[in-house]
Amino acid sequence: MQTSLPVALSAQLAMEKRLDTIANNLANTRTAGFRSEEVKFETYISNAAARPVAFTSEGASYISTRSGELTQTGNSLDLAVAGNAFLAIQGAKGTVYTRDGRMQMKDTGELQTLNGEPVLDVGGAPILLDPNGGPMSVARDGMITQNGVQLGAVGLFTMPAGANLTRAGTSGVIPDKAAQPVVEFEGVQVAQGYVEGSNVNPILEMTRLIAVQRAFEQAANLTQTTESSLSNAISMLGAPK
């Protein structure tokens, strides 16, 4: 039984998926709060042939929660999270969690993202500021103060262990398990006047891109060689004697 062709095809499918994720990561190297997408592969063993044959899976993608670099902006409406936690915003279909803390305050006092989504407190309620209260001050634990008056706190949430994250928009994620509010701030804090960048390492991604492209070409060459050998075998066996 000819096994090189299906093995090469399975490798091409896996590498095509990897190429797509790398390209998307590279396209978002400058996107605030963006989380890179990685792919994990598994090997399947088939016993249909005389000898066991290993095939690769198409690959399962997942979103990396690795932190990005913080850049100081000096803008009081820019917030970054240091540590393993997320801000919460009100998306079109429910709560979305993000590390993009670039915010704006409407004339009526609502604290929103640059895209107009309400920023939520730890209880899941939109945060309302005093439009005439001057610049807001945000403490390390997310407590918001205006003109010496505490108006609430920015909600910080952690993802449960084993939760699968689905991308929502450019920088948002939605877990398949309920996120947990942060109550201990020993390893998590809010940094006011900072913006977190993408966690994509462009040099590493370019290196991966080159390696995957070369591997894809090798698999394509193997496929072509296998098809040629099959065609030759059919021609020889089918030739009149």
> DSSP letters along 23-60, please?
HHHHHTTTSTT---EEEE--EEEE-SSSS-EEEE---E
| pLDDT tens per residue, range 157-172 | 999 988 999 999 899 9
3-state helix, strand, coil in the chain (%, to 5): 25, 35, 40
pLDDT at 124 over 50: yes
**pLDDT for 17:** 81
**pLDDT for 217:** 77
**pLDDT for 179:** 96
| pLDDT tens per residue, range 24-61 | 999 999 999 999 998 875 554 545 455 565 555 566 78
Residue-averaged pLDDT of the chain? 85
Joined tokens for residue 181 = 């509010």
Share of the chain above pLDDT 90, in %: 60
Of 7-16, 50-59, 98-107, 229-238, the range with the highest mean pLDDT is 98-107
Residue 70 near residue 57, CB atoms below 8 Å: no
Q: pLDDT band at 79, cuts 50/70/90?
A: very high
**Which residue shows structure tokens 């919460």?**
88
Q: pLDDT band at 73, cuts 50/70/90?
A: very high
pTM of the entire predicted model:
0.80
**pLDDT for 194:** 97
**pLDDT for 98:** 97
pLDDT at 230 over 90: no
**pLDDT for 19:** 87
**pLDDT for 29:** 95
The residue among 20, 154, 30 whose CA lies nearest residue 98 is: 154
Residue 196 near residue 69, CB atoms below 8 Å: yes
Q: pLDDT band at 214, cuts 50/70/90?
A: confident
Mean pLDDT of 133-152: 93
Q: pLDDT band at 218, cuts 50/70/90?
A: confident
